[in-house]
């Protein structure tokens, strides 16, 4: 697949034609992603399939696949994380139409379309949203969970063992006075 960066697309025309674009992006071309990756150089295969949806709207499905190297949140070692993303979008022609859309948790998201839609930015957004917040090896997660199941004292037992942190202040003298002196 050809290497492409900053891909611009006329989403309305592509949807009318039922067109499809595909290719490969290098993570080195995705500046916002660089801070999230342990090894910045990897490739992402993408497919952008556009059509008019059942409601008569220009729409597209974005499919991404690749392998990314992240850093384990617990041990600091590398994790080879498989990226598999499929997202559905529909496009509107104006910001007013976009703002008029109801906020909803549907499987498809409305986007402001254009004749120079930035496909690369959409792909980068989808990758960033797909990344785990705290990447961890399964073995590290298991060890971490096992360590957190250690028996802990109940709140009542714990408070009985602790002294009032201000009790130590009562034994200190202030100036020349001793505690309980007037």
- Bridge partners (DSSP) of residue 20 are 49
CA–CA distance, 5 with 20 (Å, rounded to integer): 17
CA 126, CA 48: separation in Å to the nearest integer? 12
pLDDT band at 141 (very low <50, low <70, confident <90, very high): confident
Query: Each residue of 70-119: pLDDT tens digit?
Result: 888 888 888 888 999 999 999 999 999 888 887 776 677 899 999 999 99
Helix (H, G, I), strand (E, B), or coil: what is residue 174? strand
Q: Which segments of 75-171 does DSSP mark as H helices, in order? A: 95-100, 119-130, 138-148, 155-161, 167-170
Q: Does 156 or 167 have the greater pLDDT score?
A: 167
Compute the distance between CA of residue 101 and CA of residue 113 in angstroms, rounded to an integer: 14
Between 104 and 156, name the one with better pLDDT: 104
Residue with tokens 């957190």: 148
| pLDDT of 154 | 47
53/149: higher pLDDT = 53
Per-residue pLDDT, 2? 42
Indicate if the pLDDT at residue 158 is higher than 80: no
pLDDT per residue as tens digits for the range 25-55:
988 888 888 778 877 678 899 999 999 999 9
pLDDT at 151: 47
What is the model's pTM? 0.71
- Cβ atoms 15, 51 nearer than 8 A: yes
Are the C-beta atoms of residues 30 and 7 closer than 8 Å to each other?
A: no
The mean of the pLDDT values for the chain is 80
């Amino acid at each position: 697949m050809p290497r492409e960066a900053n891909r611009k697309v006329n989403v309305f025309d592509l949807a009318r034609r039922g067109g499809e674009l595909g290719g490969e992006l290098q993570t080195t071309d995705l500046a916002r992603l660089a801070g999230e990756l342990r090894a910045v150089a990897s490739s992402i295969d993408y497919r952008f399939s556009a059509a008019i949806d059942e409601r008569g709207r220009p729409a597209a499905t974005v499919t991404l696949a690749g392998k990314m190297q992240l850093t384990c949140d617990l041990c600091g070692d590398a994790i080879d994380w498989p990226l598999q993303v499929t997202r559905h979008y529909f496009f509107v022609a104006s910001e007013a139409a976009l703002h008029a859309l109801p906020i909803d948790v549907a499987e498809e998201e409305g986007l402001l379309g254009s004749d120079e839609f930035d496909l690369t930015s959409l792909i980068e957004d989808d990758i960033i949203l797909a990344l785990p917040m705290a990447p961890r090896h399964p073995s590290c997660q298991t060890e971490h969970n096992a360590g957190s199941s250690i028996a802990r004292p109940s709140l009542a037992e714990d408070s009985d063992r602790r002294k009032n942190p201000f009790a130590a202040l009562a034994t200190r003298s202030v100036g020349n006075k001793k505690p309980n002196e007037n």
